[in-house]
Amino acid sequence: MKILVTAKRVTDPDMKIKVKEDGSGIDLSSMSYKVNPFDEIAIEEALRIKEDKGGEVIVVGIGSDKAQTEIRYGLSMGANRGIHVQVDGYMDSDVVARILKSIVEKEQPDLVLLGKQSVDDDNNQVSQLLAEYLGWGQACFASKIDVNETKAIVEREVDGGIEIMEIDLPGIVSADLRLNEPRYPALPAIMKAKKKELKKMNPEELGVEILPKVIIKKMAEPPQRKGGRILEDVPELIRALKEEAKVI
């Protein structure tokens, strides 16, 4: 079974984000980076399927030269080979989905695994767009995946219980937080990953125009919360909620 899985380079979610003074974006001067945590879960699941069913896992990263670090991390976890699509600058979800569509058409995988969202933009759009562009079935927010030669059975958490979905392969599945616990690569695996194949490509080779549909005009930090106060009675509370907070 051939599985294609993504590895997006994102800012470390544990670091404090600062907006530039001119509002043009995030100040990245002191930021550290890592594999998007949901993509890391997707890579782990792809490796578990490969270990059970056999086959090949291909890690795809899109971005600047530095994105190769996250691809190599996926290779050190156990993926067979990597693909790096060189893109400098801003990409919206649609650009990413169109690039992945072209790669999928070239590689012809049986299954595409993605994180349900990236922790930087939090858009949760790429897997859905990719499924639409390919005309494939999809199952999002997977908390459990079972696959055979022709189908994938996916469990996902919903309000009040578990929903079970079945899709034909080839298909697309996005990984949720509780799907698994990713492994930590050992030093020998990290050294071995440096010798694994990492193919470099660009959007022109893939026939994709880097023209985003969504443009970020300005960013701003949310206003700081004001201090609370003690209200004397329930009528005063209702008045404050209605006239000041305007929530009722």
Q: What residue ranges do the domains of the chain occupy?
A: 2-221
Q: Which residues pair with 4 in a beta bridge?
A: 58, 112
**pLDDT for the residue 234:** 92
What pLDDT was estimated at residue 224? 82
Rounded Cα gap, residues 64 and 40, in angstroms:
19
Q: What tens-digit pLDDT sequence spans the chain (248 residues)?
A: 999 999 999 998 888 888 888 888 888 888 899 999 999 999 999 999 999 999 999 999 999 999 999 999 999 999 999 999 999 988 999 999 999 999 999 999 999 999 999 998 889 999 999 999 999 999 999 999 999 989 999 999 999 899 999 999 999 999 999 999 999 999 999 999 999 999 999 999 999 999 999 988 888 888 887 777 888 899 999 998 998 888 88
Q: State both tokens at 146.
A: 């079972």
Question: What pLDDT, on a 0 to 100 scale, did the predictor assign at position 82?
Answer: 98
Dist CA 78 CA 87 (whole Å): 25
- Contact between residue 116 and residue 39 where contact means Cβ atoms under 8 Å apart: no
- CATH pick for 2-221 out of 3.30.420.40, 3.40.50.620, 3.40.50.720, 3.40.50.300: 3.40.50.620
Strands 151-158 and 137-147, how do they pair? antiparallel
Model pTM score: 0.88
**How long a stretch of residues is the chain?**
248
Which alpha helices (DSSP H) does the chain contain, by range? 37-53, 68-77, 93-107, 126-134, 187-193, 203-206, 234-239
Please give the C-alpha separations between residue 174 and each of 75, 77, 151, 186, in angstroms, as whole numbers: 20, 19, 15, 26
